[in-house]
A and B are shown apart, each in its own frame.
Chain A
Amino acid sequence: MNSERRKELLFNVLMNGVAPLVAIMIAFAIGGIVITSLGTNPFAFFSRMFSLNFGTLRGVSQMIYRATPYFFTAMALSFAFKAGLFNIGAEGQMFIGGLALAWVGFTFTWLPFPILFVLCLIAGFLGGALWGAIPGYLKVKRGAHEVITTIMMNFIAIALVQYLVQNHFMNPNWGIPHTPTVAEGAYAPSLDKVIPWFPAGTRANIMFLVAIILAGLTLVLLDRTKLGYEIRATGLNPNSAEYAGIDISSRTVMTMAISGGFAGMATANFILGPGSHYFLKSEYGGIGFSGIAVGLLGRNNPLGIILAAVLFGFLENGALGVQLYFPNVPRQIVEIMQAIILIVLVIVLELARKFLKRLQKRG
């Protein structure tokens, strides 16, 4: 029995600790080689990046701001994953949710804070939830695989929000298509308002805390509630769930809706947080897809996801700042590194799995 537990521990350490770290290290190594080939010292580059992020509280704050939306889209992936579903549609759910929350923010302008703020979040959640529930419904009613439908729904969402913003919400005199600004009642307070020692004037806002609270609630939901029990049962074995009298159709749709709801709140960080306060589609592209990488890197575990999201925030924030010092390294270097992390992670996980299997065979 003891060795059983030791095996489990080894499994956890390898799969959830070593594999992601190795993937990150290899990504930095390859990123370093690319930077060297551009004639820049990679150590100088990365240490500048590090000091930009961690050197000051302001840096940390900016990093958190960049990390927050990834946290939401990664949770969308992980929640569905826990229920045996692959939600690849966080991107589309994020757009629909984002437009919904912006609409509430610029429509019900007379409402005070925090009522309008909360209503905006609910609208974001519901918008994403609707977009997630549709593939769930199609799976249940028609057997359409959610990977295919969620991907397709992304394109529909992108086109739909583009159409709505350009034709209905936009003042034609504006150069860039964006919605009107949300009312002050919808503003998400910046982090220094709730955490006194945080520096003022950065864009980090309480959406980061909202994400952490939601992650905690998700854990409670899955592990302690009746609904969570049924969602997990449905995901792990629909036949047995059916035997247990669980309505697997409704549970599947609900799982996809909750998952989509998380993604739907991702852009609140930009729209409600300090900044331009309007929905600007071009600013959010890719956050939904990157959420897949963050969720996988975080091994579908809330703490892991925070760390992975912060890493992505670190790279993104660092890339923006480091350009001033190393203009010949394009900021796309971080996108390369993000992609490498994902690819290497998949390989390392597979190797770790093989290794553990061999270990088992040898006894």
Chain B
Amino acid sequence: MAQDKRSEMDSDPLIRMEGITKRFPGVLANDSVDLSIQEGEIHALVGENGAGKTTLMKILYGIYSKDGGQIFFEDELVNIEDPKDANNLGIGMVHQHFMLVPPLSVVDNITLGSEIAHRGVLDREEGKRRIQELANDIGFEIDPEAKIEDLSVGVRQRIEILKVLFREAEVLILDEPTAVLTPQEVESLYEILNNLQEQGKTIIFITHKLNEVMDISDRVTVMRDGKEVGTKEIEDTSKKELANMMVGREVLLRVEKEEPELGEELIRAENLTVTNDEGVELVSNVSFSIREGEVFGIAGVQGNGQTELIEALTGIDKFSSGTVEVQDSDLTNVDGKRIREEGVGHIPEDRLDRGMITDFTVTENFVLGYHTFERYSNRLFMKLRNMDKHAEEAVEEFDIKTPSTKTLAESLSGGNQQKLIVARELSQQPKLLIAAQPTRGIDVGAIEFVHKRLMEERAKGKGLLLVSSELDEIVSLSDRIAVIYEGEFTGMFDADEISKEELGVYMTGSKRQDKEEVRRKALGKVTLQE
């Protein structure tokens, strides 16, 4: 497939990887993969988790050694043994997990390892000047003396990009650059990438989000199970086609949703406020009500109080005022154990740092939070046999790919870790499920699965409180959508009356509805009158 494309290209490719093979114990991570990169293009590398994208790029960048195949740079056979070789060829990589030293300043982080010095004396001013210049070139402001720990994730990523440019890279590899960004930050990343392209840089970017591929790239290569399944010009392909190539079968990108069958009110939350230690309101006066069989979505840019709202609802944090009632039991500021006992499940937004303990086994993670329940423990002892049995059933039912239930959760892929959390929460048959970013960072197949399961719960008459920064997800799953902005609900809509674009306007705070009306609609009075 790559060959007929090449004939259309005017120039020879800048980088040609041919027959790249990489074996890890028990896994063929790359199986004779071909990839060609044209100078000056933005080339997306897509595939599900574990498809071998990152491995391929780590081979190109010299972090991994290859077991077979050849790499050509400007038509010359090159041997890239370590990242230094890659840097010498002008190849730089921005890793998914940032490699910055938080207490050090921007300039120290960027120059680290390539310090400018005269006779052993560090020239920080020169470094600062060059960094400013580079930043200006690609169109953003930066304070070189700011400490990394004070900067947002989006800015940190720009620093990583500057770090690569500082080393005079012409080819930039970005490993899932948008995984950690808010929609606004994604927009400005796009701008930066476009500016870089205008300067003639070549960009390879790894992702599994198809929207991004369509938005930004010129060409796309799809990988599946360690093999390259095809390279396409962006104009000649569609999201649908790419998704099918990634998964290897027909994928439903749209969630199938039946008409809602609303039952009784499940949760009624009124005037919820969360304040931090400094007395600042992170959530202000939020009210809502969710009924059986209903999905209540909260849309908002990350950092507008969603996390605080959910953590207080689930007993991790506390409200400073307001009331939460779940079917006549007052659950305001009770602990997480009580909340679970009342039938409220919680899929936390941070899979690794809330949702599971990676050094625990699959079974141990399967009871996390429910370990005090009678079926899993008595006063003193854990009921190990019961735990194992239930975990095994869930692994089966939710198709979690793991060697056994005694495997440590850390060796599962991200998608399977998320499935494990979803399995845990759904297996307890909650009346109400609070799901925060339930599909963040997992691949298309797993997203489809999670969405399907959530919709099944809705059909069974369960309630769902969904928080997501993915607008597609909010719009396609929710029945009603509240927009949260700076800790307040600023808009309240029926899912079929609002477009994604308009939601975006509310999410950035450019527009807001009347406070009283939002409150009335969120508490469901309008629906009840009908």
Q: Does A361 lie within 8 Å of B64, measured CB to CB?
A: yes
Contact of A229 among B23, B316, B348, B382 (CB under 8 A): B382
Q: Does B369 lie within 8 Å of A3, measured CB to CB?
A: no
How would residues 240 to 266 of chain A score, 1 for a CB under 8 Å from any chain B CB and 0 otherwise? 111111000000000000000000000
Residue A142 interfacial (CB < 8 Å): no
Q: Does A244 lie within 8 Å of B369, measured CB to CB?
A: yes
How would residues 18 to 42 of chain B score, 1 for a CB under 8 Å from any chain A CB and 0 otherwise? 0000111110010000000000000
**Of A57-65, A92-100, A231-239, A308-316, the one with at least 4 CB within 8 A of chain B:** A231-239
Within 8 A of A (CB), among B305-343: 314-316, 335-337, 339-340
Provide the bound-state CA to CA distance between A229 and B359, in Å. Answer: 12
Contact of B377 among A226, A233, A243 (CB under 8 A): A226
Q: Does B381 lie within 8 Å of A226, measured CB to CB?
A: yes
Q: Does A229 lie within 8 Å of B371, measured CB to CB?
A: yes
Q: Does B382 lie within 8 Å of A224, measured CB to CB?
A: yes
Which residue on chain B has the smallest CB distance to residue A237? B357
Q: Does B357 lie within 8 Å of A240, measured CB to CB?
A: yes
How would residues 405 to 425 of chain B score, 1 for a CB under 8 Å from any chain A CB and 0 otherwise? 000000100000000000000
By a CB distance below 8 angstroms, the chain B residues around A56 are: none
Residue A282 interfacial (CB < 8 Å): no
Q: Does B359 lie within 8 Å of A225, measured CB to CB?
A: no
Q: Does A240 lie within 8 Å of B26, measured CB to CB?
A: no
By a CB distance below 8 angstroms, the chain A residues around B358 are: 236-237
Within 8 A of A (CB), among B336-366: 336-337, 339-340, 346, 348, 350, 353-360, 364
Contact of A226 among B23, B314, B380 (CB under 8 A): B380
Provide the bound-state CA to CA distance between A106 and B356, in Å. Answer: 51
Q: Does B380 lie within 8 Å of A225, measured CB to CB?
A: yes
Q: Does A245 lie within 8 Å of B353, measured CB to CB?
A: no
Provide the bound-state CA to CA distance between A242 and B359, in Å. Answer: 16
Q: Does A1 lie within 8 Å of B26, measured CB to CB?
A: yes
Provide the bound-state CA to CA distance between A236 and B372, in Å. Answer: 18
Residue A357 interfacial (CB < 8 Å): no
Contact of A245 among B25, B315, B384 (CB under 8 A): B315
How would residues 124 to 136 of chain A score, 1 for a CB under 8 Å from any chain B CB and 0 otherwise? 0000000000000
Residue B471 interfacial (CB < 8 Å): no
Provide the bound-state CA to CA distance between A7 and B26, in Å. Answer: 10
Which residue on chain B has the smallest CB distance to residue A5? B403
How many A-B residue contacts, CB cutoff 8 Å? 89
Residue B368 interfacial (CB < 8 Å): yes
Interface size class of B (residues with CB under 8 A): 35 or more
By a CB distance below 8 angstroms, the chain A residues around B63 are: 361
Within 8 A of B (CB), among A323-363: 360-363
By a CB distance below 8 angstroms, the chain B residues around A232 are: 360
Within 8 A of B (CB), among A1-33: 1-4, 6-7
Interface size class of A (residues with CB under 8 A): 20 to 34
Q: Does A226 lie within 8 Å of B382, measured CB to CB?
A: yes
Q: Does A362 lie within 8 Å of B336, measured CB to CB?
A: no
By a CB distance below 8 angstroms, the chain A residues around B339 are: 245
Q: Given A1-B26, A245-B337, A363-B24, A226 and B371 touching (CB < 8 A)?
A: yes
Contact of A240 among B25, B356, B377, B382 (CB under 8 A): B356
Contact of B354 among A2, A229, A240, A361 (CB under 8 A): A240
By a CB distance below 8 angstroms, the chain B residues around A239 are: 350, 353-354
Q: Does B364 lie within 8 Å of A245, measured CB to CB?
A: no
Q: Given A244-B336, A362-B65, A233 and B26 touching (CB < 8 A)?
A: no
Residue B67 interfacial (CB < 8 Å): yes
Q: Given A237-B358, A363-B25, A242 and B316 touching (CB < 8 A)?
A: yes
Provide the bound-state CA to CA distance between A14 and B42, in Å. Answer: 45
Q: Does A4 lie within 8 Å of B411, measured CB to CB?
A: yes
Provide the bound-state CA to CA distance between A236 and B379, in Å. Answer: 23
Contact of B369 among A6, A236, A245 (CB under 8 A): A245
Which residue on chain B has the smallest CB distance to residue A362? B65
Q: Does B26 lie within 8 Å of A2, measured CB to CB?
A: yes
Q: Does B403 lie within 8 Å of A1, measured CB to CB?
A: yes
Contact of B26 among A3, A227, A241 (CB under 8 A): A3
Q: Does B369 lie within 8 Å of A243, measured CB to CB?
A: yes
Q: Does B377 lie within 8 Å of A236, measured CB to CB?
A: no
Contact of A225 among B337, B350, B382 (CB under 8 A): B382
Provide the bound-state CA to CA distance between A312 and B14, in Å. Answer: 63
Within 8 A of B (CB), among A266-286: none
By a CB distance below 8 angstroms, the chain A residues around B346 are: 243
By a CB distance below 8 angstroms, the chain A residues around B29 are: 363
By a CB distance below 8 angstroms, the chain A residues around B316 are: 242-243
Q: Does A224 lie within 8 Å of B381, measured CB to CB?
A: yes
Provide the bound-state CA to CA distance between A169 and B63, in Å. Answer: 66
Which residue on chain A has the smallest CB distance to residue B26? A3
By a CB distance below 8 angstroms, the chain A residues around B348 are: 243
Contact of A237 among B353, B369, B380, B403 (CB under 8 A): B353
Given contacts A228-B382, A237-B359, 18 further A-B contacts (CB under 8 A): A4-B411, A7-B25, A225-B381, A226-B377, A226-B380, A229-B364, A240-B356, A241-B357, A243-B314, A243-B348, A243-B354, A243-B368, A244-B336, A245-B315, A361-B64, A363-B22, A363-B25, A363-B64
17 contacts across the A-B interface (CB closer than 8 A): A1-B403, A3-B26, A226-B380, A229-B371, A229-B377, A233-B368, A236-B358, A236-B359, A237-B353, A240-B353, A243-B316, A244-B336, A244-B368, A360-B25, A363-B22, A363-B24, A363-B25
